[in-house]
């Protein structure tokens, strides 16, 4: 293989790997204050609703808030952070997955609480 062809092939492979990595970390964020914390009726889950429109990049059927479930990573931390933010009226950043829903709602993958 000629050096130029090898260089182009390597660049194509690396750019494909970078696109896959970027897609795996796809996310959308919104800032606001939590107005409602929802719990699952018969499941160990939590939903948060902000005073701002929840982003819905995955086109989930329900978009009034974001949800996490006990089976998902970060669940216990989201519960603690959401309750603290609601109790103290703190500003938060909610991060949802760009391509995944959970139970028909945007999938919560991050919740930051600000002073």
**24-64: pLDDT as tens digits:** 557 999 999 999 999 988 899 999 999 999 999 999 999 99
Is the predicted pLDDT of residue 13 greater than 80, yes or no? Answer: no
In a domain, 13, yes or no: no
| Residues ≥6 apart with Cβ < 8 Å to 13 | none
Question: Cα–Cα distance between 68 and 7 in angstroms, integer?
Answer: 44
The answer to whether residue 4 scores a pLDDT higher than 60 is: no
Instruction: Yes or no: say if 20 and 90 are a contact pair by the CB < 8 Å rule.
Output: no
Q: What pLDDT shows up at residue 26?
A: 72
Q: Binning pLDDT at 50, 70 and 90, where does residue 7 land? A: very low
Lowest mean pLDDT of 5-19, 46-60, 75-89, name the range.
Answer: 5-19
Domain assignment of residue 33, given as a range: 26-114
| Mean pLDDT over each residue of the chain, to the nearest integer | 84
The predicted model scores a pTM of 0.76
User: Which residues, 6+ apart, have CB-to-CB distance to 12 below 8 Å?
Assistant: none
CATH code, domain carrying 31: 2.40.50.110
The answer to whether residue 1 sits within a structural domain is: no
């Amino acid at each position: 293989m000629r050096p130029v062809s090898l260089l182009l092939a390597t660049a194509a492979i690396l750019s494909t790997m970078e696109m896959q990595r970027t897609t795996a970390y796809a996310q959308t964020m919104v800032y606001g204050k939590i107005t409602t914390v929802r719990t699952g009726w018969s499941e160990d889950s939590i939903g948060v609703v902000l005073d701002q429109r929840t982003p819905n990049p995955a086109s989930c059927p329900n978009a009034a808030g974001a949800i996490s479930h006990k089976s998902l990573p970060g669940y216990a931390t989201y519960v603690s952070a959401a309750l603290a933010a609601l109790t103290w009226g703190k500003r938060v950043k909610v991060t949802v997955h760009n391509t995944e829903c959970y139970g028909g709602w945007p999938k919560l993958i991050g919740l930051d609480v600000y002073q």
